């Protein structure tokens, strides 16, 4: 059986994903629910040692049905590569759908309320219970808040980083945490670490391609590489997808 693509969730994860409060998402006008929810990226087989938390999916994520695959995801992948992590991670988001606007006070209150809070925590709990989590890396305010309101995570080492789409300060923030992350996280077998600090904000040279093992069978070779390949172009119900 070919292994260079993601075969999808096992029965237990499928049941948990199937229990998502989709109706509650669709009832809240701040969520972009025109397309399908995005649940995860990475390992669901118990081999994950890093839990990565993002905020909400954008258009490339919707097309791939996987978390953090566009430009931001490739920068995150580049950071994981510096840590020597090539496969032992699970990525989840604060929300299963994209949001209109920023993670403001309104969305913070939504995130902290049920059913969103309890459902998200059930996903985090399963990653912790079935994996071998050494650390959590949370990107952005929504992810930071999600971790803070996850009771099961309070015994885990967490690194709260600026989101890769922030306008400034990313490189300085990631550099600040890099030595401690390298010390706390065991590299994957055969992987090399890179303690070299970022020069300025992470950019094109700091991206890493999304591994084919994280994506569905048949995804184009260029997808998950060279940045983001799609855009809403100001619409809610149309995504423009391009090679370049």
Within-domain flag for 17: no
Within-domain flag for 20: no
What integer best gives the mean pLDDT of the chain?
A: 96
What residues contact 140, with CB distance under 8 A and at least 6 apart? 54, 55, 103, 161, 162, 163, 165, 166
Cβ-contact 128, 105 below 8 angstroms? no
Indicate which CATH number applies to the domain containing 65. Answer: 3.40.470.10
pLDDT at 89 over 80: yes
Average pLDDT estimate for 63-76: 98
Within-domain flag for 81: yes
What residues contact 78, with CB distance under 8 A and at least 6 apart? 202, 206, 207, 208
Residue-wise pLDDT tens digits, 192-220: 999 999 999 999 999 999 999 999 999 99
Which pLDDT value is given to residue 1?
45
Residue-wise pLDDT tens digits, 35-61: 999 999 999 999 999 999 999 999 999
pTM: 0.97
Which pLDDT value is given to residue 167?
83
Within-domain flag for 55: yes
Residue 36 belongs to domain spanning: 27-212
Within-domain flag for 15: no
pLDDT at 69 over 70: yes
Which pLDDT value is given to residue 2?
57
Average pLDDT estimate for 122-147: 98
What domain count does the chain have? 1
Which pLDDT value is given to residue 202?
95
What residues contact 89, with CB distance under 8 A and at least 6 apart? 42, 43, 48, 49, 50, 51, 52, 80
Within-domain flag for 3: no
Within-domain flag for 11: no
Question: Model confidence at 244, in pLDDT bands (50, 70, 90)?
Answer: confident
Percent of the chain whose pLDDT exceeds 90 = 97
What residues contact 33, with CB distance under 8 A and at least 6 apart? 25, 26, 97
Within-domain flag for 21: no
């Amino acid at each position: 059986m070919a292994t260079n693509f993601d075969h999808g969730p096992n029965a237990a994860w499928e049941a948990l994903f199937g229990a998502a409060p989709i109706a509650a998402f669709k009832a809240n006008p701040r969520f972009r629910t025109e397309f399908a929810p995005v649940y995860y990226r990475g390992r669901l087989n118990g081999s994950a040692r890093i839990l990565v938390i993002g905020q909400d999916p954008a258009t490339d994520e919707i097309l791939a049905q996987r978390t953090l695959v566009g430009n931001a995801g490739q920068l995150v992948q580049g950071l994981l590569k510096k840590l020597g992590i090539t496969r032992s991670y699970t990525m989840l988001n604060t929300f299963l759908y994209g949001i209109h606007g920023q993670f403001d006070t309104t969305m913070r209150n939504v995130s902290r309320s049920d059913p969103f809070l309890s459902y998200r925590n059930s996903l985090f709990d399963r990653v912790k219970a079935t994996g071998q989590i050494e650390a959590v890396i949370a990107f952005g305010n929504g992810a930071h808040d999600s971790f803070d309101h996850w009771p099961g995570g309070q015994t885990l080492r967490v690194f709260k980083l600026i989101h890769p789409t922030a306008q400034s300060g990313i490189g300085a923030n990631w550099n600040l945490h890099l030595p401690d992350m390298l010390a706390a996280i065991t590299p994957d077998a055969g992987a090399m670490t890179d303690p070299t600090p970022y020069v300025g904000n992470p950019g094109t040279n700091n991206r890493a391609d999304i591994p084919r093992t994280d994506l569905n069978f048949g995804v184009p070779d260029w997808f998950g590489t060279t940045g983001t390949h799609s855009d809403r172009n100001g619409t809610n119900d149309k995504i423009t997808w391009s090679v370049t």
